[in-house]
Chain A
């Protein structure tokens, strides 16, 4: 004789929570804060973009400066070379990122009698060419003709082939065979993938970022990053000279694989100010969601004890564990509602700013040891879901506190304290992680809550490849497992306490 309909308990919990005005006020505040975050980012991007001189203006002012300097040093080859190069580039409307900039610099350098090592814009200018490689006049003439024809024909393939030849024949010096091989592979990749190269980074005449460098195609960036990563692997240290650990080595290998996959599948990375970039950026607000969940979960049991309604709740014909799970389910439901609200509003707002451009973009990322190619929108959804796990773990902690202490204020305060306190502690420990790793610290809950460190993002262009974890051996799978185990333990303790303890 089961008169009690299924789902009656969860329906009751819903009625209790959703008819409380404070529920919606708090959720509204959280959602609003997320959206404000989005708007501020957007405004920041706008104002950031708005001061930049065009490359033509920069070149012109450089020419003025150089002309003035030439008057005091009429014999300086470098100044003459620079003037000629800049004039040539301006006349032919060659942008700073155009590969012909390199050729022009070399051409005018040779023309003005500069030696090989004095030529800027070559990849390895810091390395002295071996002694006795002074060129004969014929060779110089030959070289100038080659460069001239490159400039005239605008033939990038010939340029790339020339670079490969220079490397192989030793005209361009290299530290060792391995590094030389890396450079050759880079140029071969240009040919293989049909990518027009860009001017090397040591372009002294142009001090811009933003608009100028946007013209560097993403493919070029990938090729450059592959080269840099390969060089790091060959040298066994990072660009800043820190020795690579085994885990970092693995990360770098992954990154090379991702770049190659991007090139082979023609998948450009998205920018942080694009539609998907903005939407993805909203996921950083999920930590706000944990505040929401902590407040509700800290309340959900304690408030029943506080108001005495726990008696009413427990004398209904249901085992206590069923009542417990109804409350857990409700908390999940509430989190889901907040998540969907945030996601939907962020989707609409970032769409309104960007016209939903690039909604069908793809993403390439290393996930659980494989390189995966998936729609970016799906990736963002996955990112949101994975980043929800720490939120749930904290929610479970608050729930446990709520059952054990039976006081909402205590449960909420203690959980918040643990969350924020450990965040500060972890930031310090992460900063120190290069020098020392506290043994066993990776098994702590707090060490595993920064899931976003494992996931590539259009926002985090600054910390490519190196996850900011307290222990470099940690992986995404490890952190997810630790979080799941903690959440399960918290819930188990809460359930046990709720089902056993007397209601005095």
Chain B
């Protein structure tokens, strides 16, 4: 699989305030790439730089090997995107809005009908854009981004304001595009669950710096600990035993459960230890995956590993 989008040591500041420092990332062909970070982490700024709306202070951004500064037109021919909101011309119909974009990108007219079909907007496509609901605007935005068959599609918070059914629809569409049409999809979000369900690769950004990057499987399984809820029998004996041997790993002790901060590959060993001490495991469940754990650490919402 080739690299579709490459960012190398990108810096950007507004005035004296640095917004993005030393961001490097690679999006491969046919993958859904999640760009995860809390509000104000620099997601939209990065996306705007990728789409050429902002110019980077230093570093290199290239799309299919075309530098976006030097070879803007060639680079842009392979990319599409929605930044912030799917803003279009309110006084024009959905169809006219697509027509404008199709002409600008050199897509054929027949393609408009195809993408309209794809997002299920046939019934309302002749209505004015301003009369659409947010969900319809989002769908039209995706249709617009699909018009010229780009190699990579950049979507800034595509599920924002959608109902659960809408979110699922978007998720399925994006996975279909990436895996069946081998189009790369770059999605930003501040909601982790969404990313986990949708993405192949995730990159976590905070305060303009990349904190973690890797495939969802890797990160979930990887070195850092998740939190698992054990229901044990006899409870008191178990709690005492764990307190003696692995106090730092305890995340929380409840009425009839204990939350443990352990790595996925440590689970087997931990379970055997409990068994050896005649403690029966009556229930075991995931509270937070490791990815969630790291994300909460970053965003300041979770416990800090001691």
Known: A312-B88, A315-B81, A319-B73. A9 touches B104 (CB 8 A): yes
Q: Does B89 contact A (CB under 8 A)?
A: yes
Q: Please state if A317 and B105 are interface contacts (CB–CB under 8 Å).
A: yes
Q: Does A8 contact B (CB under 8 A)?
A: yes
Stretch of A170-178, A303-311, A350-358 contacting B (4+ beta carbons < 8 Å): A303-311
Q: Please state if B105 and A312 are interface contacts (CB–CB under 8 Å).
A: no
What's the least CB distance linking B60 to chain A, in Å?
18
Q: Please state if A307 and B87 are interface contacts (CB–CB under 8 Å).
A: yes
Report chain B residues within 8 Å CB of A315. Answer: 51-53, 76, 79-81, 83
What's the least CB distance linking B58 to chain A, in Å?
15
Known: A15-B100, A307-B90. A314 touches B84 (CB 8 A): no
Residue of B with least CB distance to A326: B104
Interface residues of A in 293-349 (CB under 8 A from B): 307-309, 311-319
Known: A308-B85, A319-B72, A502-B55. A3 touches B107 (CB 8 A): yes
Q: Please state if B92 and A19 are interface contacts (CB–CB under 8 Å).
A: yes
Known: A15-B92, A311-B53. A504 touches B103 (CB 8 A): no
Report chain B residues within 8 Å CB of A318. Answer: 73, 76, 104
Residue of B with least CB distance to A500: B55
A307 CA / B14 CA spacing, docked (Å):
22
Residue of A with least CB distance to B76: A317
Q: Does A87 contact B (CB under 8 A)?
A: no
Q: Please state if B103 and A8 are interface contacts (CB–CB under 8 Å).
A: yes
Q: Please state if B100 and A317 are interface contacts (CB–CB under 8 Å).
A: no
Known: A317-B77, A503-B54. A4 touches B92 (CB 8 A): no
Q: Does B48 contact A (CB under 8 A)?
A: yes
Q: Does B96 contact A (CB under 8 A)?
A: yes
Report chain B residues within 8 Å CB of A435. Answer: none
A16 CA / B91 CA spacing, docked (Å):
8
Q: Please state if B53 and A4 are interface contacts (CB–CB under 8 Å).
A: no
Q: B residues bordering A, Cβ < 8 Å? A: 14, 48, 51-55, 72-77, 79-81, 83-85, 87-92, 96, 99-101, 103-107, 144, 148
Q: Identify the 10 closest CB pairs spanning chains A and B, nearest first.
A: A3-B106, A308-B87, A316-B104, A4-B106, A317-B76, A8-B103, A503-B53, A317-B77, A502-B54, A315-B51
Starting from the known contacts A15-B99, A309-B89, 20 additional A-B residue pairs (CB-CB under 8 Å) come to: A1-B77, A2-B106, A3-B106, A3-B107, A3-B148, A4-B104, A5-B103, A8-B104, A15-B92, A16-B92, A308-B85, A308-B87, A309-B87, A311-B87, A314-B53, A315-B52, A317-B105, A318-B73, A502-B54, A504-B14
11 contacts between A and B (CB under 8 A): A4-B103, A9-B104, A307-B89, A311-B53, A312-B88, A315-B51, A315-B52, A315-B76, A316-B105, A319-B73, A504-B14
